[in-house]
Structure formats: structure tokens, C-alpha cells
Structure 1
Amino acid sequence: MGWKAVRDHYRIDHDVQVTSAGICIGSPYIHDIIVISVDRGEIVRRWGEPHSGKLGRYLEEMDADPVKLAELVAADDVFERSIPVYTYEGGDIIEKQCEALGYPNVTHDGCMQYENTFSSDPDLVLTWAIASAQAGVKWMRDALIETEKMRAEQSHRLAQREEDLRRLTERDRRPSA
């Protein structure tokens, strides 16, 4: 995938990262001002068009040669350095590679290295992963307790409605006086 090729070719000074939406160009506050489809190599989203300044320049250059944009997206990125960096996903500690450590740098596969999820120290990442898993367990236990309370309340309300219906249908069957 050519996220770096796109960044370098268009001289992009904004943050560039890869998400499930595609290659995202943005800022720390809006990461997806411009999104480029990885499958098609075309621009799929532009927040708040028209853009001026550098964002406008990127779009003008991309629009001027969509074939070149698609070629860059399909290109294999070449990196000067491969520094190990660690993160976690669920119960896995994952080693990735990057050219430079820390935010707002990205890994070779385009993941933004947020300061609380990426580190060169795998033991620190393990500590974060355990804390995150513990918080997730607590959150789900609390959610289940709330769900059980809601279920009990809804079961009680259903029983009330069924009793109302039973009484009304019995009343309907009584002979008129």
C-alpha cells in the first residue's frame, strides 16, 4: 500500500495514516479531512469542501492526475529505517515497524502511533494491554448487571400487561346484564 508514496509525492505536511476507511489525510483533530480509497485509489471523502491552502493544493494535484494517484496508492512503500515498535490488539502484543518512534509518526502499515498505545518497550505495552483488558472486563460486567436489571423490569412490565389483557378478555366474555 502506498500511503508513504502518496505523502511524499504530494509533499503532504498534514498527518497521513491508514484506517479501515482508506488513506486518511488530516489533523490531530480531524484525521479524515481527505480519504483516499485503497481499493480504487480515488478520493472518497472531503470534509468541508472547498479546501484552500495546502489541503486545496493536495486535492488539485490529485484531481489533475487520478491515474497517478491510483498508481501511488498501489505502490509498495520503501522505508529508510525499520525500528521495532509495539502495540496491542485484544489479547495480543503486536510488533510493528516504523521509521521514527512516537506521535504523530506512523508504522510501516500506516497506523498512527498514539502515545498511550505504541511504545518501543513491549513490557510497557503489556501493562497498558492488561489495564485496558481489566477496564473492559469491568465495563462488560457493569453492562451485564444493567442489562439484567432492565430485563427483570421489562419481564415485570410484560407480566403486568398480560394480566391486564387476561382481565379485559375475561370481562369481555361475561354476559351482559
Structure 2
Amino acid sequence: MSVTTVPSVTTALTTPKTLIPTPPRHHRARGDDAWTRLIEAVRDSGQYPTRSEAERVTRIVLSALGGHVIGDERVDLARALPEEAARVVASQIPATRRLTAAEFVDSVAARIEGATPATARWDVSSVLSVLPPLVGDDLVTRILAQLPAGYALLFGRADLSPAS
């Protein structure tokens, strides 16, 4: 059984996020080196003790995301990611129902042995928050536009949705 430790809110707010250098425009990150940089960024962001744990979480979260991002955004996301990550995203069958952000986190929790909603939220945020520097803010904005409200926080952005 794997246990994910969730640092306190104070630690999470004071711990700097690892940034992945943005590849040149229209350049697809290739090879094991790009995958390794992504996994190391997730490992740093989520404070995972091992590379294998960070890789496992990355695969699970990207797999879940791959079912919810559709159309041109899905194609562009796959193009911008390292090849291994692109395969994980692109291999998913599109979801038949759009999940709220909370339901998305719960769906990830169901895929991780011993996960709780809190640890799954940590895992999801640890992966999704490293994507903007890798794939670009414009693409993340387009992805968020097709997802229900609430996902912005998972990508490390403020959720500036107007109040209903």
C-alpha cells in the first residue's frame, strides 16, 4: 500500500513550485529526457519520496485528464507533452459525462490504492500545476474553457469565475 503525505497548507504555500522550461513554440518535447524532467517536476511539486511514485501518480492523473480534454485542445496537449505523457493522454477514450473538479479528483482517488479525496487532490494538483510551464498558458486557458468550473485551482491558477 502506498501512502501519500500531504504537507500542511503553510508548507504548501511556502514551498516553491518546480518550473519546467517551456520548449520553443511548435517544438514537441521528445524522448526520455523530457519525460524524466516532467516526472522530476511532479516529484518536486508533490514532494514524493521516489521517482517511481511520482511517475505512477503522473500516469494516473494524465490518464484521467486524457478522457476529459477533447478536440483540438487534446491534440495540442498531446503535441506539447513528452512522448510518453502524450501516449497516456491520447490513449484514453473520451468521457461520456463531464465531471466537476471534485468528481474528477474523486475519480483519481478511486484509481489510487489507499487514496482519500485530500491525497488525490494533492496528487492531481502536483501533476496539473506543472503543465502550464510545459505546454503554455494559452493551451491551459483553452483546456480550462472546455472543463467545468473549479479545474483552474487544480492547475495552480486562481479560479476567477463570476459568482452565480
Question: TM range, normalised to the smaller chain?
Answer: under 0.3
Q: TM-score under structure 2 normalisation?
A: 0.24
Q: TM-score under structure 1 normalisation?
A: 0.23
Instruction: Select the structure that is richer in helix.
Output: 2
Larger radius of gyration: 1
Instruction: Select the structure that is richer in strand.
Output: 1
Comparing both chains, which one has the higher relative contact order based on Cα–Cα distances under 8 Å and sequence gaps of 6 or more?
2
